[in-house]
Each structure stands twice: as structure tokens, then as C-alpha cells.
Amino acid sequence: MKEKYIDGLMGFVIGDAMGVPVEFKPRSELLNNPVTKMIGNGTYDVPEGTWSDDTSMLIATIDSINEKCDFDIRDIADKFLLWKNHADYTPYKEVFDIGNTTRKALEDYDENREEDPQKFGLTDINSNGNGSLMRIIPLAFYAVEKKLKDFEILELVKQLSSITHAHEISIMGCYIYVRLVMFLLNGKDKYSAYSMTKCVDYTMFSEETQEVYSRLIKDDISKLVVNDINSTGYIVDTLEACIWVMLKSESFTEAIIGAVNLGDDTDTIGALTGALAGLIYGYDAIPENWIEKIARKDYLLDIFEEFSENKYK
């Protein structure tokens, strides 16, 4: 199991860094000039191997778990503020990408630090970006190690998402992804993991919210063609895109290139797909020249290694 931590988490970072330079570029433009290697400059004019808020919030979450040996929602929220306000957990002490929902929730919590941070997660229908989905994967590792029951997993997903994204659509999207990752961690192949994810009980969510995810959990997302797949920052689109790419690709490299060249929210879709691909194909399947270009690579590996050996087990 220990190696799975590095497989999935470094896969996440690679996908993030591959997507950063072309974030917000339309699919049509990338079809004519696809990303096939680690590049720099682009959208944020940053060096190759630069990771974004996706990885920053991921490692802030992991750093809290490493310190507390448990999920401490207040401490996680406090570490998000260290990132937002002081550029901790960043490649170059600069925060260059933060979602509006995440910014608003953290600003409100920052002004009311004595309150429960979950109170400040946004609950309106328009606040269902992928900002909590992109940092949820550590919970899947924790849930497998602790052998948590379904209701325990859901409660932690709700707490962790609600620091910023408290609408039911966001919570359900995070829950779907966590369950999929858990099946992969337990050794299931990607097709079995997806089938088992579709069979999970989602009746604790409203019928309306379940219907939003019907293409994923009621139908077979792999039967769709690329033009049916949206790659926006809306959590439903993001989740559909990364699971679709996972099912349609046959190697780590193919998965990353396929995800990033969908366009739009390329860093988050790349990261979430990269985590799945890392778990499926393993660390050794990641091109070495991609790994070597990652900013603060040793720092990341140290944090991931500590997480894999955490005393919460």
C-alpha cells in the first residue's frame, strides 16, 4: 500500500503541472497544437514543472494530517489560510491561481477564526466548482487504511468539502471520486472500480443531485465520445472528464495527454486524472523527464512519504 501513496499523489502533481501552462485554452486550439510534454510559460507565465493551487491545497491537507495524525478540519482550514495569505505550500512563494468560491469561503473564515470553518463553505447552486474535489484524495487513503464504513466516509467528505464547497452537488462529487479511488487502492482494475463506484448507495443524496451525476452513475460514461465531454471547472464536468479519460486511455502518458488536451480547466482535470492513472499504472510508468522537471520535487516526495508512514494507521 505504501507505494500507492507515491503512485497516486505524484500522478496528481504531474497532471497539475502539465495542465498549468494551457489552463483556459479552448479544446479547438489544443487539437491543433496539443501538449505532449512538460512545458512552461503559457497562461501564468511560469517555469515548466510548476504546480498550481490544486497541489498546494492537496499538500496543505496532507501536512495537517501528518501533524495531527487525523483529520482536523480546523487545522486543515488554517493551513489553507497559510497558503492563501502567505503562499505556503507553493512552488515559488506565490499564489497565482485560486477559485472564487475557495477565496470567498476562506476570507470569511479568516474574519471569524473562532467559528467552525465548515460554516463558511458556500451553499448556493452556482458555487459548485471543483475546488474541493481537487484536494479530496487524501481522504481516500485515510478511509482505506482506517477501514471506514460508508457513513463515516461520507461524513468526512462532507466536512472536508464544506470548508469551501458546502452544496450537496459538490459533496456528492467528492464522495464519488473518493469511492472510486478507494476501489483502485484495494486493487481493483479501472473497469471494475468504475462499475463498483456506480453500485455505491447514493440515496443519502437528493434525487435531484443524483440526477446531475446520472451520466456517471446510472449510464456508462465510457460510451460517450469526446464531443460529449465538457472540461469546465464545474465539478460534474470535471469528474466526468477525468473518469472518461481514465476509462479510454491505456497508459499513464496517454491519460495525462488526453486529459490536458481537453482544454479549459486543464490543471485540475489533469491532476485528478493523473492521480487515477498513477494508481492504475504506477510510478514507474510516469516519464522520468516529467518527474525531474517538477518544482520542489524532493519536498513533495518527503511530504508524501511521511503521509504513507503516518501514525494514523
pLDDT value of residue 297: 97
Q: Is the pLDDT of residue 21 over 80?
A: yes
Q: Is the pLDDT of residue 114 over 90?
A: yes
Query: C-alpha angle with apex 264: 8 to 20, nearest 5 degrees?
Result: 55
Give residues with Cβ within 8 angstroms of 228, minimum separation 6: none
CB atoms within 10 A of CB 224: 15
- Mean residue pLDDT across the chain: 97
CA distance 264 to 202: 29
CA distance 264 to 80: 25
pLDDT value of residue 298: 97
- Is 274 within 8 Å of 256 (Cβ atoms)? yes
Note the pLDDT tens digit of each residue in 162-184: 999 999 999 999 999 999 999 99
pLDDT value of residue 313: 66
Determine if the pTM surpasses 0.95.
yes
pLDDT value of residue 3: 87
Q: Is the pLDDT of residue 311 over 90?
A: no
> What's the whole-number mean pLDDT along residues 140-159?
97
Query: In the structure grid, which three cell numbers stand for residue 220, read together?
Result: 456508462
Note the pLDDT tens digit of each residue in 228-277: 999 999 999 999 999 999 999 999 999 999 999 999 999 999 999 999 99
pLDDT value of residue 36: 96
What are the φ/ψ torsions at residue 41 (nearest 5 degrees)?
65, -130
Q: Is the pLDDT of residue 2 over 80?
A: no
Q: Which domains does the chain have, with CATH numbers?
A: 2-308 (1.10.4080.10)
pLDDT value of residue 1: 72
CA distance 28 to 102: 29
- Is 293 within 8 Å of 48 (Cβ atoms)? yes
Residue 169 vs residues 60, 61, 77, 94, 118: alpha-carbon distances, Å: 24, 21, 21, 31, 16
pLDDT value of residue 206: 98
CA distance 75 to 117: 10
CA distance 58 to 307: 12
